[in-house]
Structure 1
Amino acid sequence: MTMQIVYSEIIDGQLILPPQALAILPSNTKLFMVIDSERGILTVRANDPTVAKNEEFLDALAELNEGLSLDEYTAPVPENAWRKHKSDNKEGE
């Protein structure tokens, strides 16, 4: 993956994208911005950053549940398993 840092301007309240960005973005692409006002950082993305996080989580969840039958997947978690999980997490802190 090759990354570049390119510069753009805001003219009359509009963000003018550089040619490198326009070359890879189809017309009418919806852009997402992550704004960190404390540090003065604005990140412009062509994909929704929250979707990627959700997809990672769902992929990890699918991997954990791979091979389970519907009955196993929907079975209630026994109380002793919750207690064990809680105690394991406390030890790792």
Structure 2
Amino acid sequence: MSSDTAAADMASRMARSHDIQQLAVRVERCTRRVEEVLAGFWKIQLLDWQSPAGRAYRDSVALQAAALGRTRGRLQEAAEAVNRHSRAVLICEAPPGGGY
């Protein structure tokens, strides 16, 4: 591989890695937003609900918070995977035919 081709390949991988890192940033931003929503759910659950309808609402919010908590974990795993991929793009050679 000539030095010009190697330099172009490295520049391409760096650009691709940067794009992937930007995706990881967006996933992390989603994770933070989920955490904000969870904080709101926890505040709702702490309120003293007297009526049966209020208690049912609190219970429903608790179920939603549990599901959102699982989603937060998956988003964190996804952000880690995307970050790993951005690093891998820098060190691997492009497969024949392009793509990653």
TM-score band (shorter)?
Answer: 0.3 to 0.5
TM-score normalised by structure 1 residue count: 0.33
User: Under a length normalisation based on structure 2, what TM-score does the superposition of the two structures give?
Assistant: 0.32
- Structure with more strand by fraction: 1
Q: Which has the higher contact order (CA 8 A, sep 6+)?
A: 2
> Normalized per residue, which structure has more helix?
2
